[in-house]
Amino acid sequence: MKASDLLAHIPELNTFKHYGRVKRVVGLMIESQGPESSIGDVCYIYTGTKNRKKKIRAEVVGFRDEIVILMPYTAVTDISPGSIVEGTSNSLEIKVGAGLLGKVIDPLGFPLDGTPLPKGLSSVPVDQDPPNPMERPPIDEPIDVGVRMIDSLLTVGKGQRVGIFAGSGVGKSTLLGMVARNTTADLNVIGLIGERGREVREFIEKDLGSEGLARSIVVVATSDQPALMRIKGALTATAIAEYFRNKGLNVMLMMDSVTRVAMAQREIGLAVGEPPTTKGYTPSVFSILPRLLERTGTNQLGTITAFYTVLVDGDDMNEPIADTVRGILDGHFILDRKLANKGQYPAINVLKSISRVMNNIVETNQKLAAERLRTALATFIESEDLINIGAYKRGSSKDIDDAIKMQPQIISYMKQGTHEKMTREESVFNLKQLMGIGE
């Protein structure tokens, strides 16, 4: 850039710093008289004595008359009336680049092991707009996720967004770990939002493993952190995936879980003064979810294939967050506790699950084989009670007889060991053989 061009930008520079003072702290919120700022701006609150000064990073989340309402990224400690608040006039940005592969970072982009950030990273804002709908290429190519049931019966396309719906302890983390290790995507971005602190290292070491971690970036916001940090965890993971998508890569984004993002937004909404609506969720929850979920998918440069887990209270698939997320995404996989109790893993209920783009990206014989398996499985389940009590006589229905004969083979096909690797081609070939359909 020429010197004359630099000189031309000087009048645009803001050389003033804006300050305010803390008026009061109410629950999660800090109320400040000033500084001049906008929603989403990052501010610094200076606390402590002259000898032990500390600054706390906070974000502007609302206004009340001329009072600025802030929410801190960390616990509210050492803040007192009159503490100085410095405005930055900038929203939160993080450093992103290939050097983050294999790292576990917090929602602000810093490694959790305390090591310094690698060099050569680029700054990106965590909150960005979704791609223009007219600039999204159609999904026309399958992606290999390495899970037999998904690859053959619920095929996922590059750039598809899928919800994994389940209660607690049905195998969500294990399934995500299998996908992260086995997928053919260029890299994984994994957001662990609202997880128990104990489970983070367990997931990384047991479910993800060294093989999966080497090609992944993990963003962690544990349940003990403030609500704002949990939301930033989801936004940061999405921003990292967007960065690599814009480099022309096929990215696999996994977020566990969207429900905890919604709960964090509910906390913030109630603290700011929003009215509670369905099950106590505030209106902002139902506006933040589409904005977050629509940021993934395809654009003209690359793709983000996304798996979002949704915790369902009491296995109720129609609760507000599950219902909203299911309506936004391009498919849903239901993990069934009954199947898990029978020892069938992954515990995906094929009959209740759907991939909305499967019919557009697979060939006819695979569709036919998948339909036959679903029909046989549904026929057996409808007649299972009669079969178990001995009320069904063989020969009464050819369809039921065939379903009974095939049931052990179908169950064996749908089971897969946690560290059992299988390509999509192998899965589809085995499905066709099982259902007696040639190439």
Q: What is the pLDDT along the chain (439 residues), one digit of tens a residue?
A: 566 666 666 665 556 788 899 998 888 889 999 898 999 999 999 987 666 678 889 999 988 888 999 999 987 777 888 889 999 888 999 999 999 999 999 999 999 988 899 998 999 999 999 999 999 999 999 999 999 999 999 999 999 999 999 888 888 888 999 999 999 999 999 999 998 888 899 999 988 888 899 999 999 999 999 999 999 999 999 999 999 999 999 999 999 989 999 999 999 999 888 899 888 899 999 999 999 999 999 999 999 999 999 988 766 677 899 999 999 999 999 999 899 988 899 999 999 999 999 999 999 999 999 999 999 999 999 988 888 788 878 888 888 899 999 999 999 999 999 889 899 999 999 999 999 886 5
Measured CA to CA, the distance from residue 439 to residue 437 in angstroms comes to 7
Structure tokens of 102?
């294999």
Provide the CATH topology of domain 94-359.
Rossmann fold (3.40.50)
What confidence score (pLDDT) does residue 368 get?
95
What confidence score (pLDDT) does residue 251 get?
97
What confidence score (pLDDT) does residue 291 get?
94
What confidence score (pLDDT) does residue 11 get?
62
Measured CA to CA, the distance from residue 398 to residue 404 in angstroms comes to 10
- CB neighbour list of residue 355: distance below 8 Å, 6 or more residues apart: 154, 155, 156, 157, 160, 162, 330, 331
What confidence score (pLDDT) does residue 4 get?
64
DSSP string, 330-397: SEEEEBPHHHHHTT-SS-B-GGG-EETTHHHHS-HHHHHHHHHHHHHHHHHHHHHHHHHTT-PPTTS-
Q: What is the dihedral angle through the alpha carbons of 13, 19, 25, 28, rounded to the nearest 10 degrees?
A: 10
Measured CA to CA, the distance from residue 115 to residue 286 in angstroms comes to 37
Measured CA to CA, the distance from residue 408 to residue 146 in angstroms comes to 22
Measured CA to CA, the distance from residue 415 to residue 277 in angstroms comes to 41
| Domain edges within the chain | 15-91, 94-359, 365-435
* Phi/psi of residue 156, nearest 5 degrees: -105, 140
List, in sequence order, the alpha helices (H) in 246-297. Answer: 258-272, 283-293
Structure tokens of 305?
């294939």
What confidence score (pLDDT) does residue 45 get?
92
Measured CA to CA, the distance from residue 425 to residue 429 in angstroms comes to 6
Of the candidates 251, 218, 246, the residue with the CA atom closest to the CA atom of residue 233 = 218
15-91 belongs to CATH 1.10.730.10:
no
What confidence score (pLDDT) does residue 314 get?
65
Q: Count other Cβ atoms within 10 Å, centred on residue 13.
A: 7
- The shares of helix, strand and coil residues in the chain, as percent rounded to the nearest 5, are 40, 25, 35
Measured CA to CA, the distance from residue 284 to residue 19 in angstroms comes to 29
Provide the CATH topology of domain 365-435.
Substrate Binding Domain Of Dnak; Chain:A; Domain 2 (1.20.1270)
- CB neighbour list of residue 72: distance below 8 Å, 6 or more residues apart: 30, 45, 56, 57, 58, 226, 228
Q: 21 burial class (0-12, 13-18, 19+ CB within 10 angstroms)?
A: middle
